[in-house]
Structures are given as structure tokens and as C-alpha cells.
Amino acid sequence: MATPLQDKIAFINGGSRGIGAAIARRLAADGASVALTYHGSAAAAEALAGEIEAAGGRALALRCDAADPASLREAIDSVASRLGRIDILVNNAGVFRAGAIDTATVEDFDYTVGINVRSVFAATQAALRHMPQGGRIVNISSCNALRMPMPGAALYAMSKSALTGLVKGLAYDLAPRAITINNVLPGPVDTDMNPEHTEFGQSLHRFMALQRHGRPEEVAAMVAYLAGTEAGFVTGADLLIDGGFAA
């Protein structure tokens, strides 16, 4: 039986842990060959690639610095050379630096924008050189692009909001090639970066209609939909999966 993403090639920028790893597993289960990047977690990335291969899929793990556009281009070109093309690009790499405006530095600003915004632009530009008609681009943004109800996170919220404007513009640039581009905006998700069981994790539930963290697999399911043929009429959109955080 054919799988939804059979014979597709997916590149996941930031795919070794948490939401990125769940996306890699789901796209592979749906039939895609998956290339996932990591920066500091080589063991986790190689283990995930091995897991996907053992389950009958195809996976590559590549070291890549999301803050460096040249590193991104090199990784994407390498995958396209080895696998033939890039059908699906998922921009998942992201960082969070907390700090009030009177203590935040220009370096904090540049670091946040460099990974959360510039890497999306750089990876998209590089992947488009290898992407055929009807390709798919999915960015992992955040519900904080729409609502930030606590102090010390303005830079993060700003960087995720920037993806909304970028995607709305690129939707028109890419439409002649039937390439769609969308943002997925998760709320709190139970990962090692934001575990549900901590005091801070529990405190987030008061902002939500569904008072629990999401699961990485739930976010991956939305990404898989956007990566598939059924989402061909969805582009330039912000899709919330946040338990009502922004409601």
C-alpha cells in the first residue's frame, strides 16, 4: 500500500531531538526519505537515523550550524546531490534567550534572529534550487508569535512573529511553482526543552483552554499534513496547535 509521502525527500533543519525528531519519525513513517541536521547532539541524531533505518525507512544525519548560511547551503546541496532533490523542507531549528530589555544585548538579538529567522530564509533559498514543482516548506514557529503573556521573552516573540511576514510574502513568490509555505505555531510541548512536569511547565497551563502540554507527535501530524498532497491549497498560513494558548 502506498504511503502518503512515498518517494519524497525531506530535509529537516534541526531534527535530532524533541519536535524535530518526532517530525523525522512521522515523515519517514509516511514514506519520505529523511535528512535531519544536528549541531551538538550527534549521538541522538545518529541514533534516530538508525531507528528510522531499522524500521525500514531511509535517513541521513548531518552536522550543520543553523546560524551559518554557508553551512546550511552545504548540507542542503549535499542531500540533494545524494538523494536527487528536496521535496519537503522543514525549518525547525530555533533558540530561546530570556532577558528583560534592560539586560538583553545586541548579541542576544543577533543570535536569536540569526537562527530563528535568518536560517529559515537561508535554508529556504538553498532548498528552492533543488525543489521541484509542488514542493512543500513548513516552518516551526510558536504561539508566542501571537501572544506573549510574560516578561523577558520579547526577542523570542519578535523572531517568531517575523516568520509570519516572511511566509505571507513568500507564498506569492512561490505560487507559480505550486510550492506551498506555511508556519506551524505550537504551544507548550512536552520535550526536554520545555518539560510538562516542572513548576514552570505547569504554570503555563493557566493560559490555555486545554490545560496540558502538547505531544511532539501531535505537532508532527500537522507537519505531515502540510507536507502532503491534501494540503495543496494551504499556503501563507499560520496554523496554531497550542491547546488554546492564543485563543
Name the residues annotated as catalytic. 156
In sequence order, what are the residues at sequence separation of 6 or more whose Cβ sits closer than 8 angstroms to the Cβ of residue 233? Answer: none
What whole-number distance in Å separates Cα of residue 214 and Cα of residue 83?
33
Element of type H or E holding 9: strand 9-13
Contact 64, 12 (CB under 8 A): no
80, HSE (Cβ side, Cα atoms, 13 Å):
19
In the three-class reduction of DSSP (H, G, I as helix; E, B as strand; rest coil), residue 129 is classed as: coil
What whole-number distance in Å separates Cα of residue 243 and Cα of residue 220?
15
Task: Give the strand pairing for 88-91 and 59-63.
Answer: unpaired
In sequence order, what are the residues at sequence separation of 6 or more whose Cβ sits closer than 8 angstroms to the Cβ of residue 140? Answer: 19, 20, 90, 91, 92, 94, 183, 184, 186, 219, 223
Q: Angle at the Cα of 235 (from 231 to 87), degrees rounded to 5? A: 65
